[in-house]
Amino acid sequence: MVALQYLERYRSKPTSTIYRLDERQRFPPPKISVCRTPSFKRREMELKSFYNTSFPTFVKHHAFLLDNTIVGEWRPTLFINEGEDNSKNFELNLCYTLHHNKSLGFGGERSGYYLEFDMTPYSNDKNTTYWEVNIHRDLTWASMYMTSTYTTVRVNSGTYNHVTLSAKDVHQLNTQNYPCESMDGYSRDEGEDNSKNFELNLCYTLHHNISLGFGGERSGYYLEFVLTPCSNDTHTTYWEVNIHRDLRWASMYMTSTYTTVRVNSGTYNHVTLSAKDVHQLNTQNYPCESMDGYSRDECMDTCLLEGIYPQLSCRLASMNVSLPLCDNMGEIVNMTRTYQRLLTNTRQSDLNCSCPPPCNRLRYTMEVGTQKNSFDDNGNIWIYFPEDIVEVLVEKEAYDLIQAVGEFGGCLGMFLGISLVSLYESLDQLIRIFIARRVGIK
């Protein structure tokens, strides 16, 4: 019984973690993806007229391009616009917006809106039927694409719900540091909505060919986004810089794998990086993958795509599946619509993806500084390591085979009264007796 307990303890592999700080002169740079909004040179893009156009031709003539630099090459990686609202698991959802023709008073329930939702013959299950009432903060525009612009109240069947409103009237001066728009009828949400009304969105990922140093702005990445003559509206043009946590794979399908920094026109932006080097043991309770070149994000991307790709006719260049490349814009549009529908209705738990973390991984954490105004309309961002310190975490076995054998032997000797000294003495006595008998016989 005791031997089995020691064996079970050894098999469970308890571990201990050693923490230390190292100094390093160079760091492998993180992968960076840049998405511009709007991505195309014309606001109202009629895609049907470009269905027979090849993808490279369409990008060259109708999209905004990024110039390659000496530190790497920009490659288009994504041509899918997921939209602002990913919470609706419906391909089609019907909503109504009330366009009022009178103002409200004050004093209680009778001075405001009263809405009553009746159960129809088609919605007889009151446990699954409900209404979402979205109260918009912008009084001149009702945006349904930006969830941060309204408050949602869920009204279940058979319930009373009360929402009280409070008002704040702001009169701001238009200054250089804090500009505002004084035009009558202007709506900020309407401008944001118009910049999101694109079925396709183009992103580029930087494939680097150098490592990064440390010490400040000049040792890292510096990206400058110049406003073109076709994008003179600084209020609706911005860039999203996605800094990926996985150094081997730039996933754009799993938003939890990267940090997004929004770079507005006419601003300076600073992102500082810090490194943590993790060396994990592969145990039964916490498995990991020790294969060289393994990427967990690539594994998850591949598993997700393999679960839905049988229903796709072609693939984008960034998709790691065995399908032919989409040849023209018509195929790309049809594929993206099908992909979005399948992705919305597919849960990762249903795919049974076996993608453990890598045993040896270098992870970066990012700290985004406060955005500051620049002297022109261009967007600027610096990404760098401020110091050469790396946190190193090394996991080691806290109970190995030698310790298991030693403790079992010690326990056995304690119960039986046997030790190495007593064994030596017993062996010595046996040898003496054997010699004495041999001498006596002679």
Together in a domain, 37 and 159? no
Question: Would residue 9 count as lying in a domain?
Answer: no
Q: How far apart are CA 402 and CA 32, in angstroms?
A: 47
240 occurs within a structural domain? yes
State whether 166 and 247 are in the same domain.
Answer: no
Decide if 33 is inside a domain. yes
Residue 261, H or E segment: strand 258-264
Average pLDDT estimate for 244-256: 79
Query: Residue 113: its pLDDT value, please?
Result: 80
- Kindly compute the dihedral angle of the four CA atoms of residues 244, 246, 252, 253, in this order, to the nearest 10 degrees: -140
Are 190 and 205 part of one and the same domain?
A: no
In a domain, residue 104? The reply is no
Q: Which residue has the higher pLDDT, 233 or 39?
A: 39
pLDDT of 18 reads 86
Contacts of 119 by beta carbon, 8 Å cutoff, 6+ apart: 126, 129, 157
Statement to judge: residues 210 and 272 lie in one domain: yes
CATH number assigned to the domain comprising residue 273: 2.60.470
User: β-strand 379-384 against 267-279: which pairing, if any?
Assistant: parallel
Mean pLDDT for the stretch of residues 12-37: 82
Predicted pLDDT at 70? 63
Q: Are residues 368 and 240 in the same domain?
A: yes
Helix or strand holding residue 268 (H, E)? strand 267-279
- Confirm whether 336 is domain-assigned: no
* pLDDT of 420: 62
Count of domains forming the chain: 3
Q: Which residue has the higher pLDDT, 285 or 189?
A: 285
Residues 160 and 129 in one domain: yes
pLDDT band with cut points at 50, 70 and 90 for residue 350 = low
Give tens-digit pLDDT for 368-416. Answer: 888 888 888 888 999 999 998 999 999 887 766 666 666 666 666 655 5
The string of pLDDT tens digits covering residues 394-405 is 988 776 666 666
Q: What pLDDT does residue 307 have?
A: 79
β-strands 389-397, 267-279: how paired?
Answer: parallel
Confidence of residue 155 (pLDDT cuts 50, 70, 90): confident
pLDDT score, position 381: 93
Q: In this model, does residue 114 exceed pLDDT 70?
A: yes
Position 316 scores a pLDDT of: 79
Please give the full DSSP string across 409-438, using - where no structure is assigned: HHHHHHHHT--HHHHHHHHHHHHHHHHHHH
Examine the pLDDT at 260 and tell me if it is beyond 50. yes
Q: Examine the domain organization and report whether 407 and 261 are in the same domain.
A: no
Q: Is 424 domain-assigned?
A: yes
Shared-domain flag, residues 38 and 185: no
The reply to whether 223 falls in a domain is yes
pLDDT at 404 (0 to 100): 62
**Residues 259, 125 share a domain:** no
281: buried, middle or exposed (CB in 10 Å: 19+, 13-18, 0-12)? middle
Enter the tokens of residue 24: 């390093």
Q: How many Å apart are CA 34 and CA 78, to the nearest integer?
A: 10
260 touches 35 (CB < 8 A): no
What average pLDDT does range 216-224 have in this prediction?
87
| Structure letter (DSSP) for residue 182 | -
Q: What's the pLDDT tens digit per position in 48-66?
A: 677 788 877 877 777 777 7
Of 194, 223, 238, the last residue of a domain is 194
**Same domain as 173, residue 32:** no
d(CA 49, CA 275): 48
Same domain? For 148 and 216 the reply is no
The average pLDDT across 9-19 equals: 68
Q: pTM here?
A: 0.61
Range of the domain at 180: 82-88+114-194
Mean of the per-residue pLDDT values of the chain: 75
- Would you say 71 and 229 are in contact if contact means Cβ atoms under 8 Å apart? no
